[in-house]
Structure 1
Amino acid sequence: MAGFIGNSLNIAVFVKLGFTEPSNISLIALAVSDLSCMMLSLWTTTGVLISFGDFILPFNPTNLSHVTVGGMLSFATRTIAWITAFISFERCLCILVPLKVKKIITPSSTLTAMIIIVALTFCPYFYAYFRFKFVWVFYPNLNTIILDIVPVDYFLRLEETIIVICGVIYPLLAFSIVLICTVFLVVQLKKISSWRKSVTSTVGQWGDKSGENSAPISPPAKDRLSHKEERLVKLVVVIAATFIVSSTPTCVMLLCNVVFEEFSVFGVYRRIYVVLAFMASLGQSVSGSVNILIYYNMASKFRSNLRQLLRLDRQEHQK
């Protein structure tokens, strides 16, 4: 529930802030993806919970939920990963080419990038809606006919390739980009902080000796960040770090799937699989729910607009 409310408020606030800032567009896309992921997870969980009950339904709830939203849920999680990778890379460009970044990263180019990310991420999962077909199956133990799904032979032959692309290459590549960009941003923030401390120290020393402030040496171009840009970089670092922590169990699962054949819910390593699956699901839920807290604490414009939206400022004035 926190994820639904939080991401809905995120979308409302960023829409209110407008689309003139490229970062707002990518953060709206991230919030929409998080909200979609929450909704799809709820539908999948509902199907699983119904299957545990003693209900005689005209369809198989677990299989139906898997077919209807299984591919879309994977698509949503991969989209979140790639949008986070784009946001992180965008901040790296602000440090590497600060004088050219406004020409490279514009609202239109950011919107185009979001559309490309969604399209490229969705295409491999499109096959999920053709790999199964609906059939009526007679269940002797229930003495009834139930609508169920069976795999299509043609798409079963493509499944291994699709799994490698969607289940291994896509998520691990996005995770690697986020990790590399985050490390780079942290290192650069430390350099900028060290340079500012050295400038302050130098100015103080010159002031003590001559009574005049000497003009400090200009920093390298990549260190010339405005305070606004620096705050945004710090915000992105926190978002990316949250994504890295929450996505680590998923990446470990993906690597184990490649290395160990028996790594599944039915295999030899089923206990480890279940633990990692639980941690991955929990991490995904937490990651999608805490962004509003990050924005509120680190973005003054977001905080003021959210308070206006919830009419908190008006309540304080009335008191």
Structure 2
Amino acid sequence: MFIFSGLAVSDLCSLLTMIWISICQNPLFYRSELNFDPQDILYLTGAVPHVLFVKIATFITAFITFERCLCIAVPLKVKTIITPRRTKIIIISIYIGMSVLVIPFCLGNRLEWVFDFNKNATVLKTTFTAEREMLEAITFLTLGVFATTFSFVFVICCTIVLIVKLNSKTKWRQATAAKSDRAAEGVGVKDQKVVKMVTFIAVIFIVCSVPPTLLFFYMVIDPSFRIDGVYRNLYLVIWSSSYLTETVNSSVNIFVYLKMSSKYRAVFMKTFLNKEKK
């Protein structure tokens, strides 16, 4: 339960930061008389937290896939391997670890109060240090490329193992129940649903996470591709599309579980609609 709570928090925060990014892009908001320019502080207050929570959700998704893989591969030992205490430690470590990887970026980009001669007032702006490009490259490689690629490979491997193990167990159950048509009826159906659900979630996760990973890799190669760079408009358009895929990844899982998991649907109905399955 703690796993899904951690995933729910990261997904919710990524959606909230996405809303803030949308607000910052609204002309009615950033043209108002404020002591800060929303578009100017968008990088640090919107984009960075959004990416952070998306990466946290990425690793929690990988851990969920691993836990389900163990449930099929070693069902008798999984409770001793994945204990509630270890689960809490892992989820908390993911939050802390991903936050640490953002530190280099925050050292190169800062929020400071600067006097604006156009507004004749002190406003909150994003300022940059001399080591900005190097510190950003470190963050983009570690958080945006290496960490995401590792989670891709990990999820793919766990999904393959899960599918192979489930299919082999389904065939064994069907073979042992072959003598009785009644006993054989429906054998492996539940396992097949699990395979479809896990595979579907893994595919959604990988497809939605590939675009931002490629963008991070390109930003390491081309330092001019920044929100304040030469191709600012192109940067905003491409990253807006990338944010859309990440938002989809953060919001569709609940519908997948509701559609494909009877237990999840029953608990959801009981919790939010006060309905129990009869």
TM range (shorter): 0.7 to 0.9
Which residue pairs with 1:293 in the alignment?
A: 255
Q: Displacement, 1:61? A: 1.2
Say yes or no: does 1:173 pair with 2:150.
yes
Say yes or no: does 1:116 pair with 2:103.
no
Say yes or no: does 1:138 pair with 2:116.
yes
8 Å CA contact 1:87, 1:236 repeated in 2: no
CA gap of 1:261–1:189, structure 2 versus 1, over 3 A, is: farther
Using the TM superposition, name which of 32-41 and 129-138 deviates more. 129-138
Say yes or no: does 1:94 pair with 2:71.
yes
TM-score scaled to structure 2, two decimals?
A: 0.80
CA gap of 1:199–1:102, structure 2 versus 1, over 3 A, is: same
CA gap of 1:154–1:29, structure 2 versus 1, over 3 A, is: same
CA gap of 1:30–1:194, structure 2 versus 1, over 3 A, is: same
8 Å CA contact 1:168, 1:254 repeated in 2: yes
8 Å CA contact 1:91, 1:233 repeated in 2: no
Q: Aligned letter for 2:157?
A: I
Q: Displacement, 1:282? A: 1.9
Instruction: Quote the RMSD (CA, aligned, Å).
Output: 3.6
CA distance in 2, matches of 1:91, 1:49: 42
Which residue pairs with 1:249 in the alignment?
A: 211
CA distance in 2, matches of 1:267, 1:133: 22
8 Å CA contact 2:197, 2:260 repeated in 1: yes
CA distance in 2, matches of 1:233, 1:111: 26
Which residue pairs with 2:50 in the alignment?
A: 73
CA distance in 2, matches of 1:46, 1:63: 13
CA distance in 1, matches of 2:44, 2:139: 16
Q: Which has the larger radius of gyration?
A: 1
Deviations 1:80-120 (Å, cap 9, x if unpaired)?
A: 11001111112222233232211101111111110111111
Say yes or no: does 1:63 pair with 2:44.
no
Structure 1 regions of 5+ residues with no counterpart? 1-23, 208-212, 214-225
CA distance in 2, matches of 1:254, 1:129: 16
Structure 2 regions of 5+ residues with no counterpart? none
CA gap of 1:200–1:228, structure 2 versus 1, over 3 A, is: closer
CA distance in 1, matches of 2:131, 2:223: 23
Q: Displacement, 1:135? A: 3.4
Q: Aligned letter for 1:237?
A: T
CA distance in 2, matches of 1:163, 1:251: 9
Q: Aligned letter for 1:180?
A: C
Q: Secondary structure at the match of 1:61?
A: coil
8 Å CA contact 2:11, 2:57 repeated in 1: yes
CA distance in 2, matches of 1:70, 1:278: 10
Using the TM superposition, name which of 86-95 and 29-38 deviates more. 86-95
CA gap of 1:256–1:117, structure 2 versus 1, over 3 A, is: same
Write the mapping of 1:125-274 to structure 2, written as runs, cut at 5 A: 125-131=102-108, 132-140=110-118, 146-153=123-130, 157-201=134-178, 203=179, 235-258=197-220
Q: Aligned letter for 2:138?
A: T
Deviations 1:192-235 (Å, cap 9, x if unpaired)?
A: 3333344444x26xx9xxxxx9xxxxxxxxxxxx9988765654
Which of residues 230, 234, 246 in structure 2 aligns to 1:284?
Answer: 246
User: Higher relative contact order by CA 8 Å / sep ≥ 6: 1 or 2?
Assistant: 1
CA distance in 1, matches of 2:199, 2:216: 24
Report sequence identity in percent.
29
CA distance in 2, matches of 1:197, 1:88: 25
CA gap of 1:44–1:119, structure 2 versus 1, over 3 A, is: same
CA distance in 1, matches of 2:242, 2:133: 26
Q: Displacement, 1:255? A: 4.0
CA distance in 2, matches of 1:119, 1:259: 28
CA gap of 1:144–1:116, structure 2 versus 1, over 3 A, is: closer
CA gap of 1:236–1:28, structure 2 versus 1, over 3 A, is: farther
Which of residues 279, 302, 306 in structure 1 aligns to 2:264?
Answer: 302
Q: Aligned letter for 2:19?
A: L
CA distance in 2, matches of 1:181, 1:240: 10
